[in-house]
Amino acid sequence: MPPEQHLIRYAGHGDFAPDVIARAAGSCVVTTDGRELLDFTSGQMSAILGHSHPEIVATVRDQVARLDHLHSGMLSPPVLDLAERLTGTLPPPLDKVLFLTTGAEANEAALRMAKLVTGGHEVVSFARSWHGMTQAAASATYSAGRSGYGPAVPGNVALPVPDRFRPGIVDADGRLDWRRQLDLGFDLVDAQSVGSPAACLVEPILSSGGVVDLPPGYLAALRDKCHERGMLLVLDEAQTGLCRTGDWYAFERDGVVPDILTLSKTLGAGLPLAAVVTSAEIEARAHERGFLFFTTHANDPLPAAVGLTVLDVLARDRLDERARVLGERLQAGLRELAGRHPVIGDVRGRGLLVGLELTASGDGAADELGGAVTRRCAELGLHMNIVQLPGLGGTFRIAPPLTATDAEIDRGVAILGTALESALATTAG
């Protein structure tokens, strides 16, 4: 019988990975039969400090022995300390925090708050977005999971993705004309609106949507579109926040401060910790109107203590700078591969969130090749992830831990090159 015989399958048409993982440390996971895999996904794009980081292990052991869980109305020192520390890493006016468990939950709370504060209900997000599987978050998710579950929440509208590699609208030079695309996108938003705008929920870099970095200037223009309509700009930095892109937050590059920021994955470095961060003004308005988001693990002390340790390590080890250096090394290695293999159409991203897109000709050929390369990588000792969207299955999301070594980055690129050569030879044969 397969090892997953008693498990509900939850990844759509995807299967569980064939290997069962027994333990993990640093940048590697180890299977039950002793095979080591270099983890170029940081778990679920979360373990930015690698697996079983000794300081996180020590924090969990200490905190769970003293105070792990409380009634959601009670406060504890780790929660108060983390709120102060986290807001200290952010620009004003982001100085109010709610701690939760997952990215979907954080986006759910953020949208609930935006709707209450604005009095509207309409939500705009990208056409290849992923914001979670709870009700409002799933309704703002367009990359997968929309068919077969009944109506989405009313008022959700999709914007076209400003993809420079696959531009939908181009200028005279054939390059993405993102300003015109954004204008046309909001023309459609306005046409569909019933006059009840609430929020625009987007990622600064679409990850599940193909590792699409918003063009410089786009985020500021999007903010202006939102504020002209009385909408709040909500940024989902589940994967981009806390040093992964080479800055503490991806929005820093554009100098745009969101009305509401959601964090998750990276904040707990693999443990379940998420946050909603907003201004005192928005928090006060929400509170006056009876904002309710009461969950079993809101403001729990154990994950908050872990979050404090994560911030300590990120700041002490200057992992924002490390992400920039490693990201440059990773992209240089991938571009060298692209020089040898024309099937690599694009290498993109920021810091240690990098996309590599294959462009094999023929319907579904890139998807098929991406799957073959992923399987061969696993056989050779490298765990890789491809975008699970039709037509984008040849796009790899590469996100090693920020604590990876130069040698591990080089080894991963070398394995990927060998796997690609093997898959191409098999396809040609």
Check if 178 is active-site: no
105, 108, 122, 203: the active-site residue: 203
Q: How far is CA 114 from CA 100, 109, 141, 220, 273, in A?
A: 17, 9, 17, 19, 21
Check if 248 is active-site: no
Check if 108 is active-site: no
163, 236, 237, 346: the active-site residue: 236
225, 229, 265, 348: the active-site residue: 265
Alpha-carbon gap, residue 109 to 124, rounded angstroms: 16
239, 248, 388, 408: the active-site residue: 239
Check if 236 is active-site: yes
Q: From the CA atom positions of the chain, what is the Rg in Å?
A: 21
130, 223, 346, 350: the active-site residue: 130
Enumerate the active-site residues.
130, 203, 236, 239, 265, 397
